[in-house]
Amino acid sequence: MIYSTGNWPRSVGIGDFNNDTHLDIIVTNQNDNTISVLLGYGNGSFANQKKYSTGSGPVSVAISDFNNDTHLDIVVANLDNNTISVLLGYGNGSFEKQTTYPTGSSPQSVAIGDFNNDIHLDIVVANYGDNTTSVLLGYGNGSFANQMKYSTGSAPLSVAIGDFNNDIHLDIIVANYGDNTISVLIGYGNGSFANQMKYSTGSAPLSVAIGDFNNDTHLDIIVANYGDNTISVLIGYGNGSFANQTKYLSGSGPNFVAVGDFNNDTRLDIVVANWNNNTMSILLGYGNGFFANQKTYPTGTSPSSIAIGDFNNDTRLDIVVANLNGHNVMVYLGYPKEGFLNQMKLITGNGSRPKSFAIGDFNNDGQTDIVVANSRTNNVGIFLRYGNGSFANQITYSTDFSPWAVAVGDFNNDTILDIVTVNHGNDTIGIFLGS
């Protein structure tokens, strides 16, 4: 499923911005200095984007509640004017205008945590241009203190947060693109940090993520190495130090990495965005710190960022990928025993403007079928799935004017799935009983 964004979608995040229990998507658009917010319907589909202004060159986004009003807020790193933008959320899917704060030179990545144990969230930024990280302590009302800076390796591009030495204080890890290392900065719990300790990675590390990959309760590190098409896994000892890297092959030009349990075996897996060959790689974890060989899936042009969540409330993790040169995001729904469905295009017809979709087994053959609300052609299209994973051409049924949403259920208790549409154009709903 492909959704339009602004120009050069660089980073993507997820959260429930309108408090409807459905996950929403946020995207930073580097070339038009905006973020796009796409509200989720809870069935794996999303509304059209709404855009908000940021600083110049937004390249990274993080999400949390900065003013303790139970509504999610946004922080964005602005590469071209050396700032971060904070946009406070109203809780209805909309946001205040940005407030900006200075950072170091060329901020590339942003993350959130409570570094001084005052229950107020703070911000950390990786500054590519001056080899530093900036820490901005939060006041708990949505505003932040001036930055404190710490040295890193050369050209830090990615930052993540975790407690690496089990002292209940948050620590920082940074991927240093310029010298093929990561930096670990141990936190004192008062908002300050020790000098960096460095560990070798592969060539040109671009992205870093954290998880417990061997189930020893100690946090481990994973790094995407753009220069040699690998990922590095560094197992943590629980005292703030790490073992030497173990490397795995990825696709060409890995530039973003994330972690989740994609096959519901309680073991953490890895997903990587591969910039050069327009794919993402999934490496399933064995739970002992080792991983299976990658399985690849096609993406759009120049995948630049990944976020993970359950977008259709089926308890399986789904993936959203921001495709920078494709000017879109793509959503991949997790599927039992199959990993992620490879992208396939199902034709809904010229000018159909598909607005929403739902899934179910409409012909009781044990296969999951798809129903789509076609808002411009005033119909729903049903795609029946074959046992080999492909779909038949759509069968259409007329609706009232401009159906915008569709849902599925057994409305007459005959064990056969029925369909309901919401028709935006004339304020009605339509019921289709299954036969």
Exposed, middle or buried by CB within 10 Å (0-12, 13-18, 19+), for 224?
buried
Query: What's the confidence (pLDDT) of residue 390?
Result: 67
Query: What's the confidence (pLDDT) of residue 225?
Result: 98
What mean pLDDT value characterizes the chain? 92
Per-residue pLDDT reduced to its tens digit, 54-88: 999 999 999 999 999 999 999 999 999 999 999 99
Torsion sign, CA atoms 287, 293, 298, 301: positive
pLDDT at 245 over 90: yes
Q: Tokens for 211, please give them.
A: 């998880």
Mean pLDDT of 119-145: 98
Output DSSP code: residue 171. Answer: E
Output DSSP code: residue 378. Answer: T
Q: Residue 343: pLDDT band by 50, 70, 90 thresholds?
A: low
Query: What's the confidence (pLDDT) of residue 389?
Result: 60
Highest mean pLDDT among 107-116, 306-315, 386-395, 408-417: 107-116
Q: Are 431 and 420 in contact (CB under 8 A)?
A: yes
Query: What's the confidence (pLDDT) of residue 240?
Result: 96
Query: What's the confidence (pLDDT) of residue 388?
Result: 61
Query: What's the confidence (pLDDT) of residue 353?
Result: 82
Highest mean pLDDT among 36-50, 104-118, 371-385: 104-118
Distance CA 284, CA 296 (A): 12
Q: Residue 427: pLDDT band by 50, 70, 90 thresholds?
A: confident
Beta bridge partners of 58: 78
Q: How many CA atoms lie within 13 A of 23 on its CB side?
A: 23
Higher pLDDT, 134 or 45: 134
Output DSSP code: residue 95. Answer: B
**What are the structural domain ranges in the chain?**
1-97, 348-434
Query: What's the confidence (pLDDT) of residue 344?
Result: 55
pLDDT at 357 over 80: no
- Which helix or strand (DSSP H or E) is residue 224 part of? strand 220-225
Distances, alpha carbon 342 to alpha carbons 62, 97, 106, 280, in Å: 28, 38, 36, 11
Distance CA 70, CA 286 (A): 37
Query: What's the confidence (pLDDT) of residue 379?
Result: 92
Query: What's the confidence (pLDDT) of residue 148?
Result: 98
Q: Tokens for 114, please give them.
A: 């409570």
Query: What's the confidence (pLDDT) of residue 341?
Result: 52
Query: What's the confidence (pLDDT) of residue 431?
Result: 87
Least confident residue range of 51-55, 136-140, 244-248, 337-341 = 337-341
Per-residue pLDDT reduced to its tens digit, 266-291: 999 999 999 999 999 999 999 999 99
What is the model's pTM? 0.80
Domain 1-97 sits in CATH at 2.40.10
pLDDT at 263 over 80: yes
Query: What's the confidence (pLDDT) of residue 284?
Result: 94
